[in-house]
Structure 1
Amino acid sequence: MSSTQSLLNYSALASNIDINDVTHFLLELDALKRVNRRSYVTGTTRLENSAEHSWHLAMACWSIAELFELNINHEKLLKLALVHDLGEIEAGDTFLYADTRTDAHVEERAGIARLQAERGNGIANLSEVWEEQETGSSRETQLLRVVDRILPFLLNLNTNGKTWIESNVTRSQVAGAHAFIKDSFPSIYDWLAAQIEFATAQGWLIDG
């Protein structure tokens, strides 16, 4: 028996699944590629999209977890990273320093509920996993939040502060948004603090 035949025969439920439903859900997920963020992709003049950020987030979380030998559930961590931005299909991306950021979770949660109910969705606990990354306090969630802040910061550093400059972001805004990292990951926080000073000296952040 070939590997393909083995796969098709693996589940007795396979004959009851409409592949049109499966592909419908896959295209629903594809919509995340249309959501542009504020960060610029390094080496280009284009904005990063949320699907790219989700991939980068998952890979970065995995690498850091392995490198620092963190006592976490890697499967859970990667699932949290992959669903992290799915609500933006409905809500769009909300800039970290936007006044409306505190309300973004409302539309995002509605978007996740819609995806959960879509035909062809095989992830029974999609809403539960998303809620964990949004409101949970597990070690996996803590790491996810740290890395989620690091990545756009890193892109800004490597594009000469382009997004910060365009949006008149201040040093105090960036310092405040990353302050929580001091307790959960001190070595990364120390690096961030030094880079904030550097960015301010370069004129990429308003010294205010």
Structure 2
Amino acid sequence: MEFTDLLKQIEFIKEVDKLKYILRKTKLINSDRNENDAEHSWHLCLMAFVLAGHANFPVDLLRVIKMLLIHDIVEIDAGDTFIYDTQKSHTNTEEERTAANRIFGLLPDEQAGELIAIWEEFEAGETHEAKFARAMDRLEPLLQNTSNQGGTWSEFGVTYEKVFAKKQVIRQGSETIWQYAEQLINDSVEKGILKK
């Protein structure tokens, strides 16, 4: 690689440091401090590494980890959209596409193309790796909210039906983890921290 490629890579590395400043609605487990996107991404990677044996199909763990490391980088420009937001869609938006092109475009062309393709794969959620990565992305906030007496569910009046519908994505990546998640959701209703 040329020295100019190194300079582009360093610019990208400096730019993605901004992910540490993007606050999510969810709070850390057993805490009242909001999680930031960088913490979220790190935690998902560790979860994927530990829980990969529960995936519905064998997965390329390195590809899953790449997805989890970069899936929220677009939020540097587009901001974090709360999964239960009733005003703005949580699905891939033109705003996120523009962000992906700008931020990944800081890299040398070949690397930029690779990361955009990995980001698109995660967003599409069709490969085994994407399904498992998305399962991790939906599991972590469930663990956080159940540890925080309902957390964002209580704060924003999120109902059982909405939680159940959004968390179904877990099933596509892991039936075993879905069984655990479904039990957590049902237990949350019984405890009164999630309203039906």
Tell whether the structures are fold-level matches, with TM greater than 0.5: yes
Counterparts of residues 77-88 of structure 1 (less than 5 Å): 77-88=64-75
Q: Following TM superposition, by how much is the alpha carbon of 1:205 offset from its aligned partner in structure 2, in angstroms?
A: 1.2
Give the aligned partner of residue 116 of structure 1.
Answer: 104
Choose 1 or 2 for highest CA Rg: 1
CA 1:90 to 1:152, structure 2 compared with 1: closer, same or farther past 3 Å? same
Distance (whole Å) between structure 2 residues aligned to residue 187 and residue 47 of structure 1: 28
**Partner residue in 2 for 1:155:** 144
What residue in structure 2 maps to residue 130 of structure 1? 119
Counterpart mapping for 1:4-23 below 5 A:
13-14=1-2, 16-17=3-4, 21-23=8-10
Q: Which residue of 1 aligns with 2:44?
A: 57
Any idea what SS the aligned residue of 1:17 has?
helix
TM-score, normalization: structure 2? 0.88
Task: List gaps (5 residues or longer) in structure 1.
Answer: 1-12
Match of 1:10 in 2: none
Which structure would you say has the larger RCO, counting Cα contacts within 8 Å and 6 or more residues apart? 2
Report 1:158-169 matches (<5 A): 158-169=147-158
Cα distance in 2, alignment partners of residues 73 and 55 from structure 1: 18
1:15-54 equivalent positions in 2, closer than 5 A: 16-17=3-4, 21-54=8-41
Q: CA RMSD in A?
A: 2.3
CA deviation map 1:82-107 (0-9, x unaligned): 11111111111111111212455321
Query: What is the percent sequence identity of the aligned residues?
Result: 31
Cα deviation for residue 47 of structure 1 reads 0.1
**Number of residue equivalences:** 194
Distance in 2 between residues matched to 1:148 and 1:19, nearest whole Å: 31
Q: Distance in 2 between matches of 1:146 and 1:111?
A: 24
Which SS does the other structure have where 2:149 is aligned?
coil
| TM-score relative to the length of structure 1 | 0.83
Secondary structure of 1:101's aligned partner: coil
Superposed displacement of residue 42, structure 1: 2.1
SS across alignment from 1:97: coil
Q: Provide the secondary structure at the position in 2 that maps to 1:93.
A: coil
Q: Which residue of 1 aligns with 2:195?
A: 206
* Alpha-carbon offset, residue 31 of structure 1: 0.7
Q: Deviations over 1:54-110 (max 9, x none)?
A: 111111112111466952112211111111111111111111111212455321111
- Which position in structure 1 is the counterpart of 2:185? 196
* Closer/same/farther in 2, CA of residues 187 and 47 from structure 1, 3 Å limit: same
Please give the per-residue CA displacement for 1:110-142, whole angstroms capped at 9, x wherever unaligned.
111001222678823221111111114111001
